[in-house]
Chain A
Amino acid sequence: MTNLENYQAPDEINRWRTLALGIGGIGLIIWAVGCYFDSQNALRSWLLGFIFWGGIGVGGLGVLILQYLTGGAWGVVIRRTVEAASRTLLILPILFIPLAVGVTHLYEWTHLENDPIIQGRGWYLTVGGWIARAVVYFILWGVMAYLLNKWSANQDKAADMEESAKWLGTATAFSGPTMVAFALVVTFAAVDWVMTLEPHWFSTIWGMLFIAGWGLSCFCFVVAILALLSDKAPMNRVLGKRHFHDLGKLMLALVMVWAYFNFSQYLIIWSGNIPEETGWYLTRTKGVWGVIGLLLILFHFAFPFLILLQQDFKRKAKLLAGMGVFILVMRLVDMFYLIAPSPLIEHGGGHEASHFSWLYLVGPIAVGGLWLAFFFYQLKQRPMVPINDPFLENAIKHGKGH
């Protein structure tokens, strides 16, 4: 069987891990200080970081499940990277602690005991119910990630191709029903963590927006990481132009899906114009928020769409990675746009522009540093490709074409 040593992750990853940990540590200290002065904005910025970076991990699990279901060369070469991303779900509960502790400073609904709508939701929207559900989400995600990672590791240890194919078959069979559970967990998590920031508002497409959005985050992140590794051993022997081309197509597809879902939501709410829903967009289309909304249309959709349409662009790893990072930044802006305009508790539910706080930068940096450090640590643990996969050779060959 294939020699394990040949596909060991490069040592640079350790350096990146240390660097990320340093940045995360400093960020954490600044965040803690900020928390002392302005707990609400600090918690919201932590939520922003949590949704953004945790979203890459959740997206990683989703993409891992997806690639087992669809097959294809792109799935084989990115599998170990998305596996590492999915294993970051292990530290998600730890990153969640500040939110659980500060829930009453974050969500207005925790103070609306007399509101008929909140009352109507009963135990579902109480602090206890909210935390209990989060625990369930983490357990379910954890089990999914644990099993898929275990079977993939078994492939590495397999005595022959037959056994390796058996584990691949197990993972594939598991992925079908798991996709259903995954989609439901993401939906309810997205409702709990982000939608309830606006206590009365609702939108049925919300879950799909997060499934697609987090998937997009994951693809952009994976492309950036793989481009970094593509000229170092061992990935320089694995990755080819056509892999990036395929990943670029998937990025393009998800950019379009993101726009399609958002447009659908906007058009339907705008034309219905009923008080239950339209308030959410009223805030977000006025003043500074309106400008951010416009920026999202231009730079989360139009610009990446036009660039990614070009074939040559998708074939150049570094350029595609640049676009990946750019979209990731816009993903952060998108999450900010969802979170920040929500009513502040101390301001009696007002929507002033004063929500811009320097703290919004600190949360994503602190969470990001810690998350990335853990990601790099996980990435180093296993060979960079599933070395005994029956389709590895084909997948590598696929990439070398032009």
Chain B
Amino acid sequence: MQDIKEIQERIYPPMVEGEHTFDTVTDKISDLTLKKKTPFHWFIGFGIAFIIAQILLFTILYLVTTGIGIWGNNQPVGWAFDIINFVWWIGIGHAGTLISAILLLLNQKWRTSINRFAEAMTLFAVACAGLFPLLHTGRPWLAYWLFPYPNTMGMWPQFRSPLMWDVFAVSTYATISALFWYVGLIPDLATLRDRAKNKYFKLVYGLLSWGWRGSARHWHRYEITYLLLAGLSTPLVLSVHSIVSFDFSVSQVPGWHATIFPPYFVAGAVFAGFAMVLILCIPLRHVYRMKDFITHTHLVYMAKVMLATGLIVCYGYAMEAFFAWYSQAQYEVFMMKNRAWEGPYWWSYWLLILCNGASIQLLWFKRFRESEFWLFTISIVVSIGMWLERFVIIVTSLHRDFLPSSWAMYSPTMFDWSMFLGTLGFFFTLIYLFVRFLPIISIFEVRTLLPSAEVEHHHGHDGEHKESFIEQVNEPKGETA
């Protein structure tokens, strides 16, 4: 039987490497926030991100005082960087919920050590995304007009518009993701509270952990809440990006109006999200020596998810091209030609195919899938590709629509770029703060992955016994330092 176990572990390697006990796991992760001196490179990285974030503040200031005319948007390209960046950020935000909710429901154990920062990434990405439509209104202080409330103007938002649905979908998504992340943090915040030496840290973590004592009842409630939140988040993974895709596809614009848009956008979102998770976690596991928890196997699994979702996206490109030809509809055929070779933006289409289509084919090969260098590079390329995808869809479809007399070119201004760059700075600022002040990996969940957490059951089921299982592993005994 040893023989079988060995074969099984070769196919599904254990998710925690090295010799670890419950204590070493707790120490290793919580020491990052509590004991270790903040490393110098943290200040450098945070400093750079923070400075770039100031560019965002400056752009917003100038935008609000001047108007959105500072952007390159024109007629007919009335939507450009603002919506491109919105969709790009929202897409990145999808990996978090997929990892935390769907993989949880599917009993995928490898989610455990990457869910915490993937969820944090989701929240920060959604925060960046939200800025763009908000500022595109030109008068962000009137943004509450977007919500349907009885008002003296006697006006209601247009409920038939997917932009309206976006308001609901994105705000729901942000709320549920935040709740999910926070609920998952509570047991770890209590651990930090118990271990903190600094009075103020103790107080803040104490307040945030809501008197968590790790009693059986607490764990029971926790498990139910977490599972319910996972159930609630699962449809959100699909709904948000489906609605984002409706922003385009319910219109008649060739290149936007395609029935495949909802699933293809969702796949693209998860694709971009996993690329961003890889971009973050490859340096993280090195710098903070987390290789035992974010193992090689994690990276390979993420690479496979990236390949699978990337291929769905490529399938979408193929279907768009095939049906443009198959339809023999004048505008569809023109759209495809204009996109790929006749139009002035043809390069963006082929760059997109190169970034999203060609580059991921490397992931078929073990050599590339198992090399951190290549994974990191491909993830960067994919992030660029997914940005280009939205550029291609939005700008090349709009700049030449039905009437040649209304065609025009689009080019972004300095402020389009500074706003995008600024959100990147804002995003990484938040990531740096998160890494410094909160446990980047879920301490109590990683403990359940250890071999010593394996409790012999009389019959081999693990799903239902999870409550008692987690309880046993996370008994408060010997926990408080």
Is B145 in the interface zone, CB < 8 Å from A? Answer: no
Q: Which residues in B have some Cβ–Cβ distance to A below 8 Å?
A: 3-4, 7-8, 10-12, 160, 238, 242, 246, 249-252, 257-263, 311, 315-316, 318-320, 323, 326-329, 332, 364, 459-464
Q: How far is the CB of A253 from chain B (nearest CB, A)?
A: 10
A272 and B257 contact, Cβ closer than 8 Å, known pairs A191-B326, A267-B246, A402-B464: yes
Interface 1/0s, chain A 164-206, versus B by CB < 8 A?
Answer: 0100110000001100100110010001000000000011111
- A187/B7 in contact, CB under 8 A: no
B316 cross-chain contacts in A, Cβ below 8 A: 204
Smallest Cβ-Cβ distance to B242: which chain A residue: A264
Q: How many residues of A contact B (CB 8 A)?
A: 48
Is A347 in the interface zone, CB < 8 Å from B? Answer: no
> Chain A: interface secondary structure?
helix
CA of A177 to CA of B311, assembled, Å: 10
Q: How far is the CB of A333 from chain B (nearest CB, A)?
A: 21
Is A242 in the interface zone, CB < 8 Å from B? Answer: yes
Most central of B242, B257, B259, B316 by chain A CB within 10 Å: B259
- B252/A116 in contact, CB under 8 A: no
- B326/A176 in contact, CB under 8 A: no
CA of A15 to CA of B320, assembled, Å: 48
- A272/B251 in contact, CB under 8 A: yes
A177 cross-chain contacts in B, Cβ below 8 A: 364
- A397/B319 in contact, CB under 8 A: no
- B263/A261 in contact, CB under 8 A: yes
The 5 A-B pairs of least Cβ separation, nearest first, read: A401-B461, A204-B260, A120-B328, A271-B250, A205-B259
Is A260 in the interface zone, CB < 8 Å from B? Answer: yes
Is A140 in the interface zone, CB < 8 Å from B? Answer: no
Q: 10 A-B contacts, Cβ less than 8 Å apart?
A: A161-B3, A184-B315, A204-B320, A242-B463, A268-B258, A271-B160, A271-B250, A391-B8, A401-B459, A401-B461
- B460/A398 in contact, CB under 8 A: yes
- B461/A390 in contact, CB under 8 A: no
Smallest Cβ-Cβ distance to B250: which chain A residue: A271
- A116/B262 in contact, CB under 8 A: no
- A276/B12 in contact, CB under 8 A: no
CA of A165 to CA of B6, assembled, Å: 11
A residues 116-167 with Cβ under 8 Å of B? 116-117, 120-121, 124, 160-162, 165
Is A394 in the interface zone, CB < 8 Å from B? Answer: yes
A180 cross-chain contacts in B, Cβ below 8 A: 311
Q: Which residues in A have some Cβ–Cβ distance to B below 8 Å?
A: 71, 116-117, 120-121, 124, 160-162, 165, 168-169, 176-177, 180, 183-184, 187, 191, 202-208, 242, 260-261, 264-265, 267-269, 271-274, 276, 390-391, 393-394, 397-398, 400-402
Q: How far is the CB of A199 from chain B (nearest CB, A)?
A: 11
CA of A393 to CA of B1, assembled, Å: 11
Q: How far is the CB of B259 from chain A (nearest CB, A)?
A: 4
A264 and B259 contact, Cβ closer than 8 Å, known pairs A121-B326, A187-B319: yes
B10 cross-chain contacts in A, Cβ below 8 A: 165
- A274/B252 in contact, CB under 8 A: yes
- B238/A268 in contact, CB under 8 A: no
Which of B4, B250, B364 has a CB less than 8 Å from the CB of A272? B250
- B464/A401 in contact, CB under 8 A: yes
Give me 20 other A-B pairs in contact (C-beta within 8 A), A264-B259, A271-B250 excluded.
A71-B11, A162-B3, A176-B364, A187-B319, A203-B323, A204-B319, A204-B320, A205-B262, A260-B238, A260-B262, A260-B263, A268-B250, A268-B261, A272-B252, A276-B327, A276-B332, A390-B11, A394-B460, A397-B459, A402-B461
Smallest Cβ-Cβ distance to A309: which chain B residue: B231
CA of A71 to CA of B329, assembled, Å: 43
- A268/B461 in contact, CB under 8 A: no
- B11/A165 in contact, CB under 8 A: yes
A268 cross-chain contacts in B, Cβ below 8 A: 246, 249-250, 257-259, 261-262
Smallest Cβ-Cβ distance to B248: which chain A residue: A268
Smallest Cβ-Cβ distance to B318: which chain A residue: A184
A402 cross-chain contacts in B, Cβ below 8 A: 459, 461, 464
A390 and B8 contact, Cβ closer than 8 Å, known pairs A117-B328, A180-B311, A271-B250: yes
A169 cross-chain contacts in B, Cβ below 8 A: 11
A204 and B463 contact, Cβ closer than 8 Å, known pairs A272-B250, A390-B7: no
- A400/B460 in contact, CB under 8 A: yes
Smallest Cβ-Cβ distance to A160: which chain B residue: B3
